[in-house]
Chains A and B, each alone.
Chain A
Amino acid sequence: MNATANTVPNFASDQEVRWCPGCGDFAILAQMKKVLPTLGVKPENTVVVSGIGCSSRFPYYLETYGMHGIHGRAPAIATGLKRTRPDLQVWVVTGDGDALSIGCTHLLHALRRNVDIKILLFNNRIYGLTKGQFSPTSLPGLVTSSTPMGTAHEPLHPLSIALASNATFVARSVDTNAKHLGEVLRRAAAHRGSAFVEIYQNCHIFNDGAFDFAKNPAIRDDHIVAIAHGEPLVFGKNRDKGIRLDVAGPEVVTLGGEYNEPDLLVHDEKADTNTIAQMIAGMRHPLMPEAIGVLRDVDRPTHNDLMRDKTPDPKSRETAVNRLLHGGETWTVA
């Protein structure tokens, strides 16, 4: 480990990175290698926990502590770690299948408990590691090896789920949007409590172009809106469109005619309720532009804060256990 006070720690491991050429995971790894050394946390105090999937190879490629966990259970492993070692900075790297199919409830409960962990969900809308079956975020009609007639069902929407779980930090970015992703990762790291980041990640092999609307420079400005706290929701190649909150919900308006910037929804990531954030999360391509940036960033006691108050000190614990074992609700089996 190279982490003395006078040198910038190197978070790159010596392992050969094995993803398919062109994979969006490379772009996310590149950003993490740039962001981690700027956080002031030493590599030996950083832990990356993953589940199963292409994204879950992440811990091998960072010179931190790490654990390639069991499928879907990275949030549970990370919860235990953060509970016993609150001094460590704990990241979870997961994918759409790992987090939303196999381990969906673990994700929900980590978020509602506000465990102080940073969860990065690489969403490529496909099972890549097992060679291209539909995932819980695949869009209806997607033809895959396990859905030759196209997928039948509606997808799950990660941001909506995170907000419904009362997550205190919810954000979205795009793998190859380096500057934006870097800033979102920095914000997630700075948040005290659960930070949930959905990253649109292109699977070059099994679901190429799934996020073309958000990545293709020729069209993306008309299909994504980069939100910022205190700023109106303006978008479009010519910055001539915006999101206005109508009684029926958010609507796209053209600026310069009937509506101008003062008429637009102003983003408030610290709002008392997550109602508006849910509306923004509900803006989905192709009907609406999709939001990237921090949807919500609020303070709430963390899991460790809350459990500290609920944990008896060691002296009284023994008495409590004795009382439980020898109390009135016990009996002897003859």
Chain B
Amino acid sequence: MAVKARPSGSVMVVGAGIAGIQSALDLANSGFKVYLVEHSPSIGGTMTQLDKTFPTNDCAMCIVSPKLVECSRHHNIEVLTYSDVKEVSGEAGNFSITVNKKARSIDPDKCTGCGTCMMTCPVTNRLQIQEIFEEDAIEEIEETERIINQYGGKRQSLITILQDVNEKFGYLPEGALRSISTHLELPLAEVYGTVCFYKAFSLEPVGKHLIKVCMGTACHVRGAGRILEELERYLGIPSGQTTEDRLFTLDTVNCLGACALGPIVSVDGDFHGNMSLLRTAKLVDEYAKRK
């Protein structure tokens, strides 16, 4: 494509993440006037939220923050935050672009970013997305709120609250997590991250009977692996899943601490010691009959 018209000498970069910032800086250093448009109130994008970067494990903020400063100080860059591109017309080399700058309700020339207004604002951590819950989620949320209140809604009680909710429903429903996030004033991502870290929590409903195979060392040398394989074969599901009829969930546990009686299988919290391959199928049948 041949560019006929004389280039206008200015460039617009849409999106001020690390890629947008770097492009803007490179262009600006080459002598172009750059308009850097960003949808959110500040530039930086996702990278500013990361701890480390793959694969070198370098600190993300250490890479991105000097660039943020450079961007804002560069004479060739005009940063348009909290703005959206509405319309693009013209052709390559000579575009006309309409940008909609949203109301900040704060005078950007005067604001120094001291953070005092944020600290004193009485409304914090409100979810900005309109939540739509199913009818049956209401009960879950009410129950969760009851548990949260029981612990005084303190941040340090997060794990205890999650344990109680998990015990109550057999898993952690989405509504409960959202409710915990709001009440403890924690980002949902942090609640979710905590849930994923600990093995005791489940994000999926479990079956009627929960089978846990102890994978402790003592059980392992006495053949726990074979017991697990036999259970997987007999139930037709891999470990960590639930049968189609939702009767059994199969899982492993690191050690139940009854090592003298290994291998151990726990069903619904009842221990069955000295398990053998011969007894495995019988045990499942026994619980299946209980319905």
A binds B: no
The interface of chain B, by Cβ under 8 A from chain A, is: none
